[in-house]
Structure 1
Amino acid sequence: MNVKRLKVSYPSPFGKMLDQAIKLSQDMNLRISALSTHFNRFYASGRGFHNRIIKCHTSPLSRPENKEQAQNTEMEVLLKLTRSLLQAWVNPLHHLWAEMGDKLGYTPPYLTKALEIKAINTRLLEAMKSIIRKANFALEENVKTPDWSELASLQSTNRDTRYFAFYNLFHCLGSDSRDVEMYLKLVKCQMVQRNC
């Protein structure tokens, strides 16, 4: 598959937009890692969750299986996939923030981190729309994303069910967020025509 490269000189407005999006994704990953580590230490430790099957609601999205495949994916596809991943997390991130305090008893510092993740995701989504437009790719207004159906598990009265739902959510969120960062970095590499 030929990788479409944008002919721009770096740094360009497009390059600066990508740099800002990469920085946002890195900030989001740091916060997700902090929340996930705290959750695993205080709620998941010793429960054997790592031996269970993890199901991510974003799994149906068609995407590269690894970095090598992603490197050979067209820039337009990576940008639109990034937007789809971010869009797919809007609803779960709202409920993550809403349920952490109620169902886990999280304190304000950790609730603030969850709120920051939600806000960064929103900012990244807006940045992706601008980047896609700037790259002269078609921007569909209503992106179809997989439905998230784990709210009942997050709110379950069964502690094990509830804790595993949070564990699953953190695992999937972290994985998808790292993919977002990787895709953005690969687009930047393609743009400046360097080996990635």
Structure 2
Amino acid sequence: MYTKRSPLKGSLLLLLLMLNLLLSRSVESLPICPSGAVNCQVSLSDLFDRAVMLSHYIHSLSSEMFNEFDERYAQGRGFITKAINSCHTSSLSTPEDKEQAQQIHVHPGERENEVYSAWSGLPSLQMADEDARLFAFYNLLHCLRRDSHKIDNYLKLLKCRLIHDSNC
């Protein structure tokens, strides 16, 4: 019995394979401290440098994935108008721009009441309707790009405030 394979399933498999290759491409997990170091001290500045580098790389990869998916599957479907403000993290209170972010007072070690927003998009990724499934992937990648950009910017701002005393 021959069953026709959906081109979307093969494409999604290819997309996931590409994601795996992108994430493993030129990424080396180097130890911060030399092997065998007993009392290794790493400066806060070095930790921020590493965190900023990694967050920038993750944002770059998420942008690349979103752009490729957009070009290959979303053209002419009007997904962007549906995706605006539909991220599950949109309800989290974050500054709108750099000026608002700079007004936040940083208190290292202090934690406010943490609010986690659960992602409920998995059923949409498994729907039989191809347009609904494509939109679910589009929205997931859109939100990943959006959130990784915020994290990248906030880490850079936090580094500037804590390491360089806001003199950047």
Correspondence for 1:173 among 135, 144, 150: 144
User: In 2, distance between residues paired with 1:164 and 1:72?
Assistant: 36
Bigger helix fraction: 1
Correspondence for 2:71 among 34, 41, 44: 41
Correspondence for 1:183 among 108, 129, 154: 154
TM-score computed with the length of structure 2 as normaliser: 0.68
- One-letter code aligned to 2:166: R
Query: Match of 1:68?
Result: 99
Q: CA offsets per residue over residues 62-96 of structure 1, 9 Å max, x none?
A: 111211100111224xxxxxxxxxxxxxxxxxxxx
Query: Match of 1:156?
Result: 127
Gaps spanning 5+ residues in structure 2: where? 1-41
User: In 1, distance between residues paired with 2:90 and 2:80?
Assistant: 18
Counting matched residue pairs gives 125
Rg: which structure is higher?
A: 2
Give the drift of 1:16.
1.1
Residue 194 of structure 1 pairs with residue 158 of structure 2: no
Q: CA offsets per residue over residues 95-133 of structure 1, 9 Å max, x none?
A: xxxxxxxxxxxxxxxxxxxxxxxxxxxxxxxxxxxxxxx
Give the drift of 1:177.
0.5
User: In 2, distance between residues paired with 1:157 and 1:182?
Assistant: 37
Give the drift of 1:194.
3.2
When the two chains are superposed, the root-mean-square deviation of aligned CA atoms in Å is 2.0
| Structure 1 residues 119-158: aligned runs within 5 Å | 135=108, 137-138=109-110, 144-158=115-129
Gaps spanning 5+ residues in structure 1: where? 1-11, 77-134
User: In 1, distance between residues paired with 2:110 and 2:161?
Assistant: 19
TM-score computed with the length of structure 1 as normaliser: 0.59
SS state of the match for residue 75, structure 1? Answer: coil
Query: Match of 2:10?
Result: none
User: In 2, distance between residues paired with 1:67 and 1:145?
Assistant: 23
Query: Match of 1:31?
Result: 61
Q: Call closer, same or farther: CA 1:53–1:34 in 2, change over 3 Å.
A: closer
